[in-house]
Amino acid sequence: MGRKTALVIAACVGISEVGCRSGGWDDSFASDHSETPVRRSPSASSIDGGELTATEATSLRDALMRTRPEFLRTSPTVGGSGAETAAPSVYIDGRYAGAPDALTLVSVSQVQEVRFFRPASARLTFGSFCPCAGGVIAVTTRGR
């Protein structure tokens, strides 16, 4: 491979990497005098304490049922008969707390943020020994 080809490939990889890390396209710079700012939709994989509090639910599990029920769904597992599913695991402030039923013990007023990690991301984030075949619901409490 020639030097020019290697430089072109490196430049393309760098540009695509920056685009992927940016978190989404924001075209607010493209319009000269836009009167309406670009609004991004809330993340499907996270939810903040303010949105949870607005549900008027008392437990975090109830608030998630109203706002992000997909966080609580079981996921098909790889291997076995193919008909097996796994519930997501719950981590509170980085510590394993058990199954989604543990969320009934968490008051919405204590929560700063909740993030959902799909199984592959959960393994990378929480380690290869995490029980995360169904993903992970990661709760960050206030004052943390």
Q: What is the pLDDT of residues 3-24, one digit of tens each?
A: 554 444 444 444 444 344 334 3
Give yes or no for a contact between 139 and 93, defined as CB atoms under 8 angstroms apart: yes
CATH homologous superfamily of 46-77+85-141 equals TonB-dependent receptor, plug domain (2.170.130.10)
> Are β-strands 136-141 and 111-117 bridged in parallel, bridged antiparallel, or unpaired?
antiparallel
Domains of the chain by residue range = 46-77+85-141
Digit-coded pLDDT (tens) for 98-140: 999 999 999 999 999 999 999 999 999 999 899 999 999 999 9
Chain centroid to Cα 4, Å, comes to 40
User: How many whole angstroms from its chain centre is CA 121?
Assistant: 9
